[in-house]
Amino acid sequence: MMKIRIMRRLALIAAITRPEDRTNEPAFNDQIAFYGPMHGVIWNMLHLVSRLSPHNIARQTMAIFSNHDPEDTLRRLTPDDIKDICRFYQRHSSRVGALNDLTHIIGKELLQKVQTPTLVIHSREDRSVPFSHAEWSLAQIPHAELCKSGFTGHFYWVGSDYQRAVIRGGVINRPRPRSQKTLARLRRKERKTPSMTSGPGSRAHSYDPPPASPIFFENGGGVIGRDRGYTVAKAGIIAL
């Protein structure tokens, strides 16, 4: 039995914490199809569209990831927000990591073992990962509290509510485009880092990177950042 060393604080951001419900959720089959064998081709097309028609891809993105009215959302987005959405499609996308997020298994017993103070950041308008996952986390984790993100749904880092969440949680880093050299370095570091996931055939490992040296993983890779004493978990990966 591996000993688990608890982190000081934990943040779950738009996280899938009740994966057994995923197959019954409206977006699940579409997400599985999107990350199918043709994902690389589709992603390259989205990359191109993000450069040719930024407003259209922003509108379509909000329609997919948020339950809020897309036209109203688009009116409320700033030019910088639209640029950030486009940059999302201009970064590396990990098909394997995303499928791991969609199909991993977490029992409620694991959530109940989390004793560290936990901040659950989630939007009620998240169309990709329903708010019920946040409610489940709050019900199972003893010292959890909620910070609601806003009208942009799963794209929590876009829009005016982003700053409020930053002030409340102090843990979110706005995604930045990375050079191919930087991506290669991060992937090498990821391979050397002990696994933080709990899923089929895996065991929970403890890892506490020094606060002065944040470790970032690309899509679906586990811990996405370390800032102000928080360990940040994304898309269903639980970091203990």
Taking only the tens place, the pLDDT of each residue in 55-114 is 999 999 999 999 999 999 999 999 999 999 999 999 888 888 788 877 777 778 888 998
Flag whether pLDDT at 232 surpasses 90. no
Q: CA 216, CA 224: separation in Å to the nearest integer?
A: 5
The pLDDT value given to residue 17: 85
The angle that helices 39-52 and 54-65 make with each other, rounded to 10 degrees, is 130
Flag whether pLDDT at 11 surpasses 60. yes
Give the list of residues 6+ apart from residue 209 with CB closer than 8 angstroms, or none: 215, 223, 226
- What is the chain's mean pLDDT, rounded? 72
Of 160, 156, 187, the residue nearest 174 (C-alpha): 156
Q: CA 62, CA 85: separation in Å to the nearest integer?
A: 9
Flag whether pLDDT at 142 surpasses 80. yes
Question: What's the length of the chain?
Answer: 240
Question: pLDDT-derived band of residue 184, with 50, 70 and 90 as boundaries?
Answer: low
Per DSSP (E only), the strands in 107-179 are 118-122, 144-148
Return the CATH number of the domain spanning residue range 9-234: 3.40.50
Q: CA 131, CA 145: separation in Å to the nearest integer?
A: 14
The pLDDT value given to residue 218: 27
**Alpha carbons within 13 A on the beta-carbon side of 49:** 16
**Alpha carbons within 13 A on the beta-carbon side of 31:** 21
Q: CA 150, CA 168: separation in Å to the nearest integer?
A: 13
Taking only the tens place, the pLDDT of each residue in 32-61 is 888 888 999 999 999 999 999 999 999 999
Q: CA 89, CA 56: separation in Å to the nearest integer?
A: 13
Element housing 84 (H / E): helix 79-89
Of 15, 6, 7, the residue nearest 146 (C-alpha): 15
Question: pLDDT-derived band of residue 181, with 50, 70 and 90 as boundaries?
Answer: low
Question: pLDDT-derived band of residue 186, with 50, 70 and 90 as boundaries?
Answer: low
Of 24, 230, 5, 7, the residue nearest 120 (C-alpha): 230
What's the sign of the alpha-carbon dihedral 107, 109, 114, 117?
Answer: positive
Lowest mean pLDDT among 101-110, 119-128, 135-144, 206-215: 206-215
The pLDDT value given to residue 187: 57
The token pair that represents 6 in the structure block: 């608890």
